[in-house]
Structure 1
Amino acid sequence: MVSQCANREGGYELYAYSPSLPAAIIFIAIFGTSAVLHIWQAGKKRSWFMTPFIIGGLMETVGYVGRALSHHNTCSLTPYIIQTLLLLLGPALFAASIYMILGRIILLTDGEPYALIRRTWLTKIFVGGDVLCFLMQLAGGGMLASADGDPDKAKLGENLVVGGLFVQLAFFGFFILVAALFQMQGRHHLAGLPQSLSAWRRHLYVLYGTSLLILVRSVFRVVEYFQGEHGYLLSHEVFLYIFDASLMAAAMVAMNVVHPGDIALLLKGKSLEDGREGFLELDSRGMVEGHGVDGHSRHWR
């Protein structure tokens, strides 16, 4: 337990512990490396719908920089605000890109008849909900970060954050349901797709995985805020790294390994092949290769 900050009215503490410097540095490295790799992958594969995901990764990186700075001065308000806001809001931006990925999988597989929501509305509905929860958490996080011992302001901030997290949980739960129903109802159609389009399956499973990681993290945050500033979770730093940092890092790395930009490349190749027999595949250079009925190979970026 850190000593109370003498320069704060009532001796108000920003942390119930001294933030770990080694842990912060480790996750600065993980999130920073993954974010830079995502920038390179998005540029190479022209997958600009991953921009919110990248921004979320950069926010996570800077958020842990704030925690590293707090190790040396637990009473400094600026790094505390940085880490509070950015670590709270980063996953909401992950969600925005995840919602857009499902729409592209549906388009790639011509699976709109099997989707609970029309593809053109799917992204609008879920990203709209994501913006709402982002704004609620932003407002609540800002109040919490600047409460400085004011119990009324802190309580209002907590209520807004928890409300935003519940909105996020509701939309994510519905999103997973929509994705699962799409796969179940369209199973016969999806099973008949050419081998060249089989990538949809691994991208959808990564989508399930990253969505569940964000769900678990959001549940953790809800419980943390319900317990309050003196609660067990908020008073022990290890839980932040187990149920937030590690899960969000896993989500970022999973998207590095199975990058959604491959869907963008397949969609581009598929549009070029419309009206012609043949199939599409990604070659070792990440280009779309189409083999027409004449047996000749064609490549597109």
Structure 2
Amino acid sequence: MTSTYVLYHYNPSFAAALCFTVAFGVSTAAHLWQACRYKTRFMIPFIIGAIIETLGYAARIVSAKQSPDWSVGPYAIQSLLLLLAPPLLAASIYMVLGRIIRLVEGEERSLLHPKKLTKVFTSGDVLSFLTQCAGGGMLSQAKTESKVLLGERVIIVGLFVQVLFFGGFMILSVLFHRNIHRNPTTASLATDNRGGVPAWKTCLYVLYTVSLLIMVRSIYRVVEYIQGSEGYLQGHEAYLYVLDAALMLVVCGVFIWKHPGALIRVSKK
């Protein structure tokens, strides 16, 4: 097997990797500052995810500079890190919904109690994370086509777990929103006295936005790995940046613009 079969089917862009490394680095710094400002420990997984995105594209810079004699190390690192960052971003999103539910005292309006919600979906995240880790490890050590195929299949399983749990989370969020709208709690109505859209509702809309972006990215990754290393998506770098890098950067940007800690603080006033 040639190295180009295992690694890239194109010349990776140094400029694109550099741009996204800087962008995710700036985003990480902004989230660190906001986490300190609003004392939001529940955003720690999100920050770790942003750091991993930054390191992933930094490793891609190194890999791109090696063209055309790529080594497995930087390639494997960037590939694995870019796979594993979104589940960490999602972990904080689960915790944000739990805090919204408690804030409006809407436990009875949710299909899962906030504590169970966080445990269930975080467990799914961990399972997806570990499965993708295992698949990525197999790919980094693969020397034959059969082992490459095995690694890709394990990653596909991990991605399907991620899509399944995240889809369930999105459905649960919508159902909670519907229930609290039809049968509001005293606490939810108390936050409506400032005029306009209440901050906790704005926070829910933000969750819908970032959740949709992560779901699109996850579906792209599933299709990419189902197609395999010889597939169209893995053969064209642009899709990585449009359907993964850009979407995850927008997720980070949306949470900077409408930070959950700030919205929840406003709702408490």
Tell me, yes or no, whether TM beats 0.5: yes
Q: Which residue of 1 aligns with 2:36?
A: 43
> Matched residues in 1 for 2:112 and 2:50: separation?
29
> Does structure 2 conserve the Cα–Cα contact (< 8 Å) formed by 1:105 and 1:263?
no
Q: Kindly provide the CA deviation profile for residues 88-137 of structure 1, in whole angstroms up to 9, marking residues without a partner as x.
A: 00001001100000000001111111001112211010101110000000
Q: Which residue of 2 aligns with 1:206?
A: 206
> Matched residues in 2 for 1:226 and 1:178: separation?
28
Pairing partner for 2:99 from 104, 116, 136: 104
> Does structure 2 conserve the Cα–Cα contact (< 8 Å) formed by 1:66 and 1:82?
yes
Q: 1:186 Cα shift? A: 1.1
Q: Kindly provide the CA deviation profile for residues 65-107 of structure 1, in whole angstroms up to 9, marking residues without a partner as x.
A: 1111112214122210111110000001001100000000001
Q: Which residue of 1 aligns with 2:116?
A: 121
The residue correspondences of 1:63-102 to structure 2 (distance < 5 A) are 63-74=56-67, 75-102=70-97
Q: Which has the higher contact order (CA 8 A, sep 6+)?
A: 2
Gaps of 5+ in 2: none
> Matched residues in 1 for 2:149 and 2:57: separation?
25
Q: What percent of counterpart residues are identical?
A: 48
Counterpart AA for 2:126 = V
Gaps of 5+ in 1: 1-9, 271-279, 281-301
The residue correspondences of 1:3-82 to structure 2 (distance < 5 A) are 10-13=1-4, 14-74=7-67, 75-82=70-77
Q: 1:49 Cα shift? A: 0.8
> Does structure 2 conserve the Cα–Cα contact (< 8 Å) formed by 1:46 and 1:264?
no
> Does structure 1 conserve the Cα–Cα contact (< 8 Å) formed by 2:100 and 2:264?
no
> Matched residues in 1 for 2:94 and 2:191: separation?
25
> Matched residues in 2 for 1:104 and 1:53: separation?
15
> Matched residues in 1 for 2:191 and 2:85: separation?
37
Q: 1:264 Cα shift? A: 5.2
Q: Could you say which structure has the larger radius of gyration?
A: 1
Q: Which residue of 2 aligns with 1:193?
A: 190
Secondary structure of the 2:234 match is helix
TM-score by length of 1: 0.83
> Matched residues in 2 for 1:86 and 1:153: separation?
20
Q: Kindly provide the CA deviation profile for residues 192-239 of structure 1, in whole angstroms up to 9, marking residues without a partner as x.
A: 233368211111111011111111001100111011111110001001
Runs of 4+, deviation exceeding 4 Å: none
> Matched residues in 2 for 1:152 and 1:230: separation?
13
> Does structure 2 conserve the Cα–Cα contact (< 8 Å) formed by 1:17 and 1:235?
yes
> Matched residues in 2 for 1:46 and 1:264: separation?
11
Secondary structure of the 2:248 match is helix
Secondary structure of the 2:210 match is helix
Pairing partner for 2:157 from 138, 163, 180: 163
Q: Which residue of 2 aligns with 1:297?
A: none
The root-mean-square deviation of aligned C-alpha atoms, in Å, is 1.5
> Does structure 2 conserve the Cα–Cα contact (< 8 Å) formed by 1:66 and 1:80?
yes
Residues paired across the two proteins, number: 259
Counterpart AA for 2:51 = L
> Does structure 2 conserve the Cα–Cα contact (< 8 Å) formed by 1:84 and 1:145?
no
> Matched residues in 1 for 2:141 and 2:75: separation?
10
TM-score by length of 2: 0.92
